Structures are given as structure tokens and as C-alpha cells.
Amino acid sequence: MTTFALNNLWTYLQGLSLSQNDREWLANKLIMPADNKAVTLTPEERKARFLKLEGIWSETEEGEAYYQMMKHRNDNMPIREINLDD
């Protein structure tokens, strides 16, 4: 959706006479994910999304190095085990 369309939608919603319950229902619908399934991405898709977010900077050597650093940032972190039996 374009910014113009979103502004028109917002103006429309502000013009509605909504009760508090209706406002809460609408808010919950707006923040609810479209589907409840977790999206699984291939490594190539994940990298493409990351690079798209980083814009022109991602085309530099530093962009690739940053991607690799973020990809492996948790590799050396210790795994915390929670013992629920205690």
C-alpha cells in the first residue's frame, strides 16, 4: 500500500464512530499477523531480504562483511539450559 492510500485509510478510520470495544477489536486485528505460520526462508532468501534492507550500502565489501558478522553473531554464545525440575 502506498503512503497516500494508508493516509486515506487512516482518515477514514478516524471518521468512524467506534465504541471502545470496537477500537480494541480493530487494534487487535491490525497487530495480528496475517497468518500464524512461521515463515521459513532459505539462506539465499534471508540474505536477499537483509541486503534489500541495507540498500546501496549492502553492495560494498563492508556490507557483505556485516552480513556475515550478523549471520554468525550467536555462534560462539553459550547455550543456557533451564532446568525446570528444581
Q: CA–CA distance from 81 to each of 24, 77, 84 (Å)?
A: 38, 12, 9
* pLDDT surpasses 60 at 86: no
In a domain, 26, yes or no: yes
Claim to verify: residue 42 and residue 71 sit in the same structural domain: yes
Do residues 50 and 58 lie in contact, with contact meaning Cβ atoms separated by under 8 Å? yes
Q: Does residue 5 sit within a domain?
A: yes
Yes or no: say if 67 and 50 are a contact pair by the CB < 8 Å rule. Answer: yes
Give a yes or no: residue 83 inside a domain.
no
Q: Which three cell numbers stand for residue 50?
A: 537483509
Residue 63 sits in which domain range?
A: 38-75
Q: Which of 16-20, 49-53, 78-82 comes out lowest in average pLDDT?
A: 78-82
User: How many domains is the chain partitioned into structurally?
Assistant: 2
How would residue 83 be classed by pLDDT, with cut points 50, 70 and 90? Answer: low
Q: Give yes or no: residues 49 and 67 share one domain.
A: yes
Report if pTM > 0.75: no
